[in-house]
Every structure is written in structure tokens, then in C-alpha cells.
Chains A and B, each alone.
Chain A
Amino acid sequence: MKTRLLLSLLLLTSLIGLITPSAVEGQTTSLSIWPPILEVMVRPGKSVTQVYRLKNEADDTRITVRMVPFSAADEFGHINLQFGGRLPDYFSLLNADLPSLPVTLNLKAGQSQELVLKIAIPAAAEDADYPAALVIESKTTGLIGGSGTVTQATIASPILLTVSKSGTPNRLAKIEEFGMTRSHLVSDSFDPIKFILRIKNQSFTRLQPVGQIKISNTFGRPVATLPLQGDHILAGTIRQAKLEGSDPSNLAWNPVFPLGRYTAEAEITPQDTTNTVSENIVFWVLPYKALLVLGLLFFGYRGLTKLIKQ
């Protein structure tokens, strides 16, 4: 009798264990992708292939690979993925063991997966940009009981795809804004002199601006050249220029005690063209903060001596 009871309890416990397994979820999701960004220019009727290497650097996971169009999210090169957006049927995987995009596969901890992406442009395709990203989404599982949030780690590698019949599309840039970051055109001699330079791409394909800001002093003598980084600007968008290897907020000139009237000329040429555009601003640099302090000290001293005399 006792044995039967024991066996029954054991069976019941086992069944409960089977029907309500504890959730086994990875503590960490970590995905790496190579290359992180791809620039491609293709002629209509031609195709290119690019091998992507994906690595799972954490716990076992399941991923979905898809192509998603994107647009510029801001003026700093960030992308805005348009999930659900339409994309021409130019992209496919050449991996023999994988079905067509989107594709879902398992990645064990430490495992790498190569994805051979083919970009084939039809002969009738128009000259244009087709910004898209290879998006890798980690698979998530629903919550088992209780309230909470399901989080998903996604990694995306932007593809700056330009279709051009000639290979050298006509690229036009416009200086949308060039000025000082301060509203007034007088800077203090002890502060860095910060500029803002916004460049608009007025062509149908992305461009990389080549250029610099040249600064001349009161006598027209060049005193500094600030080389600009040739960041991509998508067709019809604006991008804030920055110095090579720097942040856009650091588009600044840091001279030793500048004084007087200066002229800054921003000169931009879209790469592989001669379509140069430029714009000038005039600004003054004076040690007005120091003069203010000296003035206050002077008048304070005079007031104090008057008081003492009285």
C-alpha cells in the first residue's frame, strides 16, 4: 500500500514537472556583426555580394535576419529603421543552407554564422539611393505568469546602396547654415570659437563633402584651416559637419588669444566633383569677460576709496 502511494506521488510530481517547466532564458544576449556598415555603388544590371559575419558572444539564442529600409534619424548619421517599410527586391542570401530572407536560425554560444548577401540591381533601375540595413533580431520568449516587459536585442548593419548608370552621379551640396553656435557674433578671447555648419545634399544620391573652414584675420591673412570629416549625407537630407575624428559639437577653433575681426569661409566640394560651394561669416573676438572683470574691479576700487575718504 505504502509503495503504491509512493509511486503515485512520484508520478504526479514528475507530471507536474513536465507540464510546468521553469523558464530557461539566457542571462545575456550579445551579438557582433561584421562589417558594421557597407557602402556600395552599383550599375543597373549588375550585382555584388558581401559576406557578413555574425557571432553570438553570449548564451544560446535564436535570431531572425531581415532587410529593413531606413532613413536618416537626425543630422548626425544615426538611422531610423522603418520596420514594415517597403524595399525593392534587390537583396537575397546566397547561403545554400538557408532559405530566402527573412530567415530564422539558431546560434549557439560562441558560434559564428556567415551570411552571403547578394545585391542584384535590375537593368531598368533608376539612379537613386536605396538605404537599407541587414537587421539581426534576437528571439524573445513571452513572460510566464506575472507582469513584465519582454526585451529584444537587435543589431543592424546599414547598407548605403547607390544605383548609378554612370558611376559618377552628379552631386550637389548646399550650405544650409554656417555660423557661430552663439547667437551673437562676438566671442571671448578665452573661449573656443564654435561653429555650426549644416550641409544639405541636393542631389538624388548620397554624397561625401570634402572641405574645410578657413579662418583669416583682420588683415586677410589665413590663420587656421579646420579640415572637415567627409561624412555621408543621404539624398535630400542635411548633415552637421564635424572636424576629422571629432564630435559635431566640437567644430571649434582654439587659438591662443585671438583678438579682432576674423573671417571664416566654409568651402565644400562633393567628392569626385568640382561643384564647390562656399559661404563666409565675419566675427569679432574680444576679451570682454576679462575687461568686464577689470572694469568691475576698477569701479569697485574707486567706490571703495570714495567711501573711505568720506
Chain B
Amino acid sequence: MIRRKQKFLGSFLIVSLLAFTQPQALDSANLTSVADTLSTSRLSYYGSLNGAHTVGATLLTVNTSGSPSTSTANLFSGDSVWVGDAGTGSTYTVDDILDTDEFQITAGLGSGDVEDDDVIIASRSATHTVTFTTATAIPNGAIRILIPSGANNNNDGIPNHDGFDYGVDTPSLTAPTGGGVTSWETATATASAGTGCTAGNHCFEARYNGTNTATTALTFTIGGANKLINPAPGASHTAGTADTYTVTVQHLKDRLQDYAVVDSTTIKIAVIESVRVTATVDPSLTFTVAGAASGATRCGTTTDVTTTATAVPFGSVSLAAYNDASQTLSAVTNAAGGYAVTMISDDQLSVGGDHSTEIVNTDCDSENCTDTTSGEWSTENDVSGFGFSIQNVDATTVPFQYSTATGNCTGTYCARMIPSTATASETPDDSDTALSIMSKTTIPTTTEDMYVCYRLTVATTQTAGDYENNITYVATATF
């Protein structure tokens, strides 16, 4: 009896010792190098209107309590914001942030979007690039990513204050590649509380065939055309302090083992307001008139005269010949409506500016150009006349160009009379309106330039004398 007892105890001791010396391999381990990189870590914006606004209002005041977003922090010029309520709503563009509770939109509020407490939403969607290194070789397994969801209404495309919103459309997915497996199946996404996905997280899964290499670096991308929507500020959020959420990366067994979790690692991701950097650029309008040395090629001809910013001194002109000169006009503004430069003279050229003995404005080769109609002026140089043409450098809009063959122009030297404020001493010298010679109705991207080319011909029968007139260029912003 005692010997049997001793035998049993001895056997038990040996088995115990064997168990200690040859322990079973553990099934679970941590995935390593886990990271979830968001394409933008900006919080979404979810605020509300403070008080009823008027239709057409562009200045919006936000509530400073009662909504996830309680200031204009994290709103930026150019952001698209949706304003409205359950009934109606429209998307507007943020023009400027005025202070902590006021911002401006580019177009006025519509009639259904002006009520007190109407919500203001600017959602920020991000692609999650999840990278990790597996720890275990598992045949026919799967990778699953769990991203925290909001508790309620977490797949309606509206940001939640307590998690990521799934969006209205299923997020785009890119399954891992490689890793030693035979093939990867199409990745699947399930919103929180959907089939096989426990409430509290959105689930993203990529299954594979074959066995993965035990330690292999993989990347699972959630987002693309459709993305998860970043949370709005949390209930106890402090501006400038990140809200953190826990993302879980799991390596699962195969279907026959109900995709049981083998390895699992959690990481933290942070979402925070972007920092608004502001600098004021004063709006301004700059206009330049510059002279040009003789011998320059302008409007297809070589100029004969050196001009300054204030004078086009033809001096002693050649008779029955073209006398050409030019100036450069430049304008730039950052005013929203752009700019316009106009041209007007006080009269035709007259002796000493007496408005009596004149060199008439040209009517071009075929007597068919006026101050509003262009005509070809490249052959008739034995009749007195004064006119101008334009060579555009980079101005957005000019009324005509010397080389454009349209209407009465063949495109050698297309010209016009210079409009004049003088009363009708000679038709069509008849109180013209100023001619817009360069303009742009939006903000130019750079200084815009053009050459004004002056042409003077004097008949051999023209009365001797010094002829002159005044031309005024006016640059203004467009209202």
C-alpha cells in the first residue's frame, strides 16, 4: 500500500517537473510598431448660431456654450460650413474669422438657415493609415482595426463629439499586401453595432489565405474617396488640448476558429484644432506709367521717340511718315473686384494746346476707325492724324490689339482715335466717355502690363507749329 502511494507521488512529481521544464507556447502576443497616421488630425466643427440671423446676413455669431464647438476656433477661411436644421440647410464658404464668436461667409444666409441654434457644421474627414508588424504566424487569419465611434448617430455623415463618424458612404479601404500570405481578400467595413461589430467601434477587417510570415510589416488604409469623419470637440474639451481616442489592431485566427483574437495592440490617436496663423495684407491699388527709349519694338514697329512717364515728345516730326512712340502701363490690386484703367484726352493735338488749329484724330487708312471702332492704319501716312494702338503684355482684358485681325483691321497696325472730352469741334471729337484700356474683374495674380503705342502722321500741308494735347490715365478699383 505504502509502495503504491510512493509510486503515485513519484510519478506526480516527475510529471510536474516535466511541465515546468517544457511549458506550452503562449498563443497571444502584441503586434509591434503599431501606428495610425491620420491625413488630418483636425477636429470637426459642430457649433450653432447665436440668435436669429437675417436672410442674406454674412456675419455669423456662434453660441459660446451648448454645442461641442463653443467658439470660432478651428474654423478657417475657405472652409465649407453647413448651416441649417433638421428641415433645411445649405453649404456656405467661410470668408474670414472676425473674433472668437463671429465669422463671415462669402454669400448671405438663405431663408431656412437663420434660426436661433441652427447648427454650423464643418466636417473634417481623414484617411487612417494603420501600420503594424505582426507577431504570430496564423494560417488563413485576418487583420481587424477597431476605431472608436460616437455613441449615437455614428454613421450619418455628421461629426460626433465622442468618436469618429462612419459617414454616409462606406469608407474606402485598401487591404494590406504581401506579408507572406497566398492572397488577401477584399477588405470589409462595418459600422458600429453592425453585423459582427460590437457597438463602440467601427470595424475594418482584411482576411487572407495562406499563412503569414510571423513578423511582417503591414499597412491597412482606411479612407480614400470615402473617409471617416473626425470627431468634434469632446464634452470636456479645452481648446489647444488634444482629444484622444483608442484604436485597436488585432490579428485573428481563421474562420473555423471563429476569428478568435490571437494578438491585439491598442494605441492612442489625438485630434486637435489646427492653429490659425493670421497676417493682414492691406488691400491696395498700384498704377504705373513708364516711358520707353526710342528704338524699341512696340506694336510691330520701331519707335522713333524717347518718352517719359509724363510726356510723349514727338519733337520735330517727319512729314508724310509715321512717327511712333510708346509708354508702358502697369496695374495691380488685391481688391476683390479687380481694377480698370481708362484713357481720355482733353482734345485733339492743337497748336500750343489752343484747341483751334489741330492735327485731327486719325480715321485710319479707310476712314473707318473711331475711338470705339478699330481700323487698319498701316498705309496712309501722308494725311495728318493722331491715334493709338495697344500691344498687350499680360493684361486680362484690353479693348483691341494692334495685331488682331477683326472688323476693319487686317492685323498689321490696328488703331483707334484717342477718346476726348472736348466738345464737337470736329466729328467724332464729341465728348467721348473714357475708354477702358485694361481691366480685370477679379484679383490679378500678378502685375498686369500693356504697351500704349502712339502714332502721329503730319501732311506736308499741315500748318507749322508745336501741337500738343493731354491724355489722362485713371486707375481705379472695381466696386
Contacts and interface: CB of A to CB of B under 8 A. Distances in A.
Interface of A: 23, 25-37, 53, 57-59, 73-74, 76-81, 133, 135, 137-138, 140-158, 160, 210-212, 227-232, 234, 242, 244-248, 269-274, 276
B60 interface: no
B95 to A, nearest CB: 10
A28 B327 CA distance: 10
Contacts of A53: 282, 284
Contacts of A246: 442
24 contacts: A27-B308, A28-B289, A29-B289, A30-B290, A31-B286, A34-B285, A36-B335, A59-B309, A78-B340, A79-B340, A147-B468, A150-B311, A151-B472, A151-B473, A152-B470, A153-B289, A153-B475, A155-B287, A157-B476, A160-B479, A227-B106, A230-B107, A245-B442, A246-B442
Interface residues of B, number: 65
A30 B291 contact: no
Nearest to B452: A151
B372 to A, nearest CB: 13
A26 B434 contact: no
A43 B307 CA distance: 49
A29 B478 contact: no
Nearest to A139: B310
Contacts, number: 242
B312, B314, B337, B359 interface centre (most CB from chain A within 10 Å): B337
Nearest to B334: A36
Given A28-B288, A32-B285, A142-B468, A151 B309 contact: yes
A56 B257 CA distance: 82
Contacts of A228: 107
B311, B333, B479 interface centre (most CB from chain A within 10 Å): B479
Given A36-B333, A143-B311, A81 B454 contact: no
Contact of B309 (A26, A36, A211, A244): A26
A270 B285 contact: no
A132 to B, nearest CB: 12
Nearest to A234: B479
Given A140-B311, A155-B476, A211-B107, 8 more contacts: A31-B287, A34-B283, A53-B282, A77-B478, A140-B470, A149-B468, A150-B470, A270-B56
B317 interface: yes
Nearest to B473: A153
A26 B337 contact: no
B439 interface: yes
Interface in B388-441: 433-434, 436, 439, 441
B284 A33 contact: yes
Nearest to A212: B107
A145 B315 contact: yes
Contacts of B333: 36
Nearest to A144: B313
B311 A149 contact: yes
A77 B454 CA distance: 28
B436 A146 contact: no
Contacts of A148: 305, 311-315, 467-468
A149 B287 contact: no
Interface in B334-372: 335, 337, 339-340, 342, 345, 349, 359
Contacts of B309: 25-29, 58-59, 138, 151, 153
A109 to B, nearest CB: 12
B57 A272 contact: yes
B312 A149 contact: yes
Nearest to A58: B288
- 10 nearest CB pairs, A to B: A210-B108, A146-B315, A36-B477, A36-B285, A30-B288, A29-B309, A77-B478, A148-B313, A147-B467, A32-B286
